């Protein structure tokens, strides 16, 4: 080993879903949106004066924070924006999980949580989901240095009710409780109203799923103003300017077009509900989904087998070779045409196996 | 204090130069470029198909790494890209400064270095510049856990020679030595050729100054492939997707138009060299600059006074109320028209004082 490598930090990085360069692949593996961003985003870019780019963007991202705050009925100083919700959560871990007690999150959840914890030296404990993949609020009544839970949870797609989150908040007044609402726009009920009652709640959102802007990199969170100020101090200790001037303006325009936003989300919800029925007809079962993906297993074929067979047919879904979920597939809801090709491929795989 | 705030991390954030919303201000305070980005960047945006944005960008930023690698005559696996050079340096600190020994950097330099060190719990020591603001390589022959030096240094604008950096590399084989070349394109000689001889060298660059793209947020660094792989692991432990698909494509186009790039840099160098002469005529002295800014003090008027008087005249420059440099101003090289208005304002300030 080279001498200087002794000072290199050791990590086990997060592994994201594949981003194949081949445009002919049906990509149902990273929960992207099948529909384009709001039309105003295209107009913005197509008329963009690049002379603006020679200057730094607004370090405080004021325009986007204000737009989001107005949209959610909050004041501007209660919104924090970052380079996708991963950036937001990374800053939140650094900001709020600086104690010595263990941070808690489910054992089957977004696999990035333990990665951030390890990177920043945060002790943590994974709390097992119940048999039916539900999260029990009672499991979070123990000493901890903070809590993070996605709602709906991923990859299970299960939404817990507001009372579930309120139970956790009530029993943990000295912990920051982060609710990652990356998938809340697909029919779920947000815990945002609880912000008025609990200052230890942080609600995290992304533009990557429901707003069709994964490629633009915008995420945000909402909390009490002391919490947002603390995050801004950490952010200003990492990178003065995160969101480009283009991302800031595009984000504002996306939020302004609420009719388009709701229409696209509605289409995905409709396709998803049909998908669960169609997949049931093919022998798949899985929880009722409140996200833009479903989490299903087949009555007879193993998860890794279907995953590989779909891949051969140029359809990418997500599969984890992990205890409890190895037979499950997480399938993003694509366009109706993409879903039709998925069903055909699954039917083909099942029929081939029966011969 | 609220209970949950006990777990909040304490930091003293970096304070960036002001970004006033008023477009009529002559902004010579954050070393931005007075000329627009390469024309192809405008063409890219104006014809951009926003449907691309619904997908995540390439997490490996392959196209831009490959373009930069080819430009600098390296292989692709020796380039790392981030959201501005601040993001790159932040990741580099986390990656390479994980030992227990003190990291070294000059006392008068980019004020963000101690901020990152404090945030990540990295011990550090600031090494005083010599009386003439030069850096003495001999001062870096002591036990350390890493070294970072900007060359040219900021805010002094002074360039040290390649032999200076080689001396440091030679005496510190077990430390990662980072040379922050944010300002190297304004006439300085890069230490890039040393990469072939020293695997503990990391050369950091930005698109924010010489490439007129501060608003797009692109920075990069070059090192041996083991060093770049280590940075990629840390990056993948923070945020899977950092650069937007727009930034990646715009970055590639900027690098491709080398004629435009060299022409704009040449214009700034010419304006800068004239500026030092004109400022000398007004009673200012300062080191010969190898950057897109000058660092000057007046023969009789204090730094904070000129700073405030310029501000009243809607011209922003940078001033630090710090030992040794309190009488200096860091003035970004603007367009010839902006510089003319600066000289007029300075003349006015000096004349008013003499009355």
Residues from chain B that touch A46, judged by Cβ atoms under 8 A, are 45-48
How far is the C-alpha of A149 from the C-alpha of A57, rounded, in Å?
32
Alpha-carbon gap, residue A193 to A318, rounded angstroms: 33
Q: Does B239 touch chain A (CB under 8 A)?
A: yes
Q: Exposed, middle or buried: residue A200 (CB in 10 Å: 0-12, 13-18, 19+)? A: buried
Residues B129 and A66: their CA atoms lie apart, in Å, by 44
Chain A residues 49-78 with a CB less than 8 Å from chain B: 49-59
**How far apart are alpha carbons A314 and A324 in whole angstroms?**
26
B131 pLDDT tier (thresholds 50, 70, 90): very high
> Residue B17 — very low, low, confident or very high, per pLDDT cuts 50/70/90?
confident
pLDDT at B32 over 90: yes
Q: Where does the pLDDT of residue A354 fall: very low under 50, low under 70, confident under 90, or very high at 90 and above?
A: confident
Angstrom distance (rounded) from CA A272 to CA B43 = 38
- In a 13 Å sphere around the CA of B263, the CA atoms on its Cβ side amount to 10
How far apart, in whole angstroms, are the C-alpha atoms of residue B241 and residue B59? Answer: 5
Distance from CA of A36 to the nearest CA of B (A): 5
- B237 vs A contacts (CB less than 8 Å): 11-14, 115-116, 118-119
Residues of A within 8 A of B238 (CB-CB) are 86-87, 90, 116, 119
Phi and psi torsions of A131, nearest 5°: -55, -40
Question: Contacts of residue B93 in chain A, CB cutoff 8 Å?
Answer: none
Does B1 touch chain A if contact means CB atoms closer than 8 Å? no
Residue contact A11–B233, C-beta within 8 A: yes
Would the pLDDT of A22 be above 90?
no
The tokens describing A266, both together, are: 């509605």
Please indicate if any CB of chain B lies within 8 Å of the CB of A264. Answer: no
Q: Can you say how many angstroms the Cα of residue B240 is from the centroid of all Cα atoms in its chain?
A: 24
Question: Which of A3, A51, A215 is the mutation pick for testing B, counting most B CBs within 10 A?
Answer: A215
What are the tens digits of pLDDT across the range B236-250? 999 999 999 999 999
Share of chain A above pLDDT 90, in %: 95
Q: Is the pLDDT of residue A2 over 90?
A: no
> Residue holding tokens 């050791």?
A10
Compute the count of residue pairs across chains A and B with CB atoms less than 8 Å apart: 291
Q: Which of residues 283-342 of A touch B (CB under 8 A)?
A: none
| Cβ contacts of A230 on chain B, cutoff 8 Å | 5, 8-9
Burial of A23 (0-12, 13-18, 19+ CB in 10 A): exposed
Domains of chain A and CATH, by start? 3-36+259-354 (3.90.1150.10), 47-256 (3.40.640.10)
The pLDDT of B267-288, averaged and rounded, is: 98
The two tokens of residue B227 are 């060093």
How are beta strands B315-316 and B26-27 bridged, if at all?
A: parallel
Contact status of A199 with chain B (Cβ, < 8 Å): yes
pLDDT the model gives residue B89: 98
Q: What is the largest CA-CA distance in chain B?
A: 65
Start-to-end CA distance of chain B, whole Å, equals 54
Residues of chain B positioned with their CB less than 8 A from the CB of A36? 50-51, 53-54
For residues B313, B318, B323 and B327, what is the CA-based torsion angle, rounded to 10 degrees?
A: -40
Pairing of strands A124-127, A293-298: unpaired
Give phi and psi for B105, each to the nearest 5: -155, 165
CA B85 – CA B74 distance, rounded (Å): 19
Which chain A residue shows the shortest CA-CA distance from B85? A239
- Tell me if A66 sits within 8 A of A200, measured CB to CB: no
pLDDT score, position A21: 83
Show the beta-strand stretches assigned E in B265-317: 284-285, 293-298, 315-316
pLDDT tens column, A230-261: 999 999 999 999 999 999 999 999 999 999 99
> Please, which pLDDT band fits residue A17 given cuts at 50, 70 and 90?
confident
Judge contact between A238 and A88, C-beta under 8 A: no
d(CA B132, CA B130): 5
Buried b (16+ CB within 10 A) or exposed e, B46-61: eebebeebbbbbbbbb
Q: How confident is the model at residue A307 (pLDDT cuts 50, 70, 90)?
A: very high
- In the DSSP assignment, the letter for residue A76 is G
Share of chain B above pLDDT 70, in %: 100
- Count of Cβ atoms closer than 10 Å to residue B184 Cβ: 25
Give the span between the Cα atoms of B139 and B148, in whole angstroms.
13
């Amino acid at each position: 080993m080279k001498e200087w490598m002794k000072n290199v930090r050791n990590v086990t990085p997060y592994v994201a879903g594949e981003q194949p360069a081949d445009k002919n692949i049906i990509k149902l593996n990273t929960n992207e949106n099948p529909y384009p961003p709001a039309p105003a985003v295209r107009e913005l870019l197509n008329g963009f004066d690049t002379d603006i780019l020679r200057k730094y963007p607004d370090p405080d991202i004021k325009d986007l924070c204000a737009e989001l705050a107005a949209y959610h009925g909050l004041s501007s100083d209660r919104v924090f924006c970052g380079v996708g919700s991963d950036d937001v959560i990374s800053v939140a871990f650094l900001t709020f999980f600086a104690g010595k007690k263990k941070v808690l999150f489910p054992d089957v959840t977004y696999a990035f949580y333990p990665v951030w914890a390890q990177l920043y030296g945060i002790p943590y404990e994974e709390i097992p989901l119940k048999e039916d993949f539900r999260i029990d609020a009672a499991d979070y009544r123990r000493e901890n240095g903070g809590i993070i839970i996605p709602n709906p949870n991923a990859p299970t797609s299960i939404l817990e009710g507001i009372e579930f989150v309120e139970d956790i908040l009530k029993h943990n007044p000295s912990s920051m409780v982060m609710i990652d609402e990356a998938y809340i726009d697909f029919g779920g009920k947000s815990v945002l109203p609880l912000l008025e009652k609990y200052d230890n709640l942080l609600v995290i959102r992304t533009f990557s799923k429901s707003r069709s802007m994964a490629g633009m990199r915008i995420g945000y969170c909402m909390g009490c103003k002391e919490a947002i100020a603390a995050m801004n101090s950490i952010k200003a200790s990492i990178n003065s300017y995160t969101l480009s001037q283009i991302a800031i303006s595009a984000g504002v325009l996306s939020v302004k077009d609420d009719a388009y936003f709701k229409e696209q989300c509605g289409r995905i919800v409709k396709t998803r509900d049909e998908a669960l029925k169609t997949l049931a007809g093919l022998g798949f079962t899985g929880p009722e989904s409140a996200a833009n993906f479903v989490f299903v297993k087949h009555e007879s074929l193993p998860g890794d087998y279907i995953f590989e067979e779909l891949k051969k047919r140029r359809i990418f879904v997500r599969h984890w070779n992990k205890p409890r979920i190895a037979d499950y597939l997480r399938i993003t809801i694509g366009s109706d045409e993409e879903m039709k090709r998925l069903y055909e491929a699954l039917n083909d795989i099942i029929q081939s196996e029966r011969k």
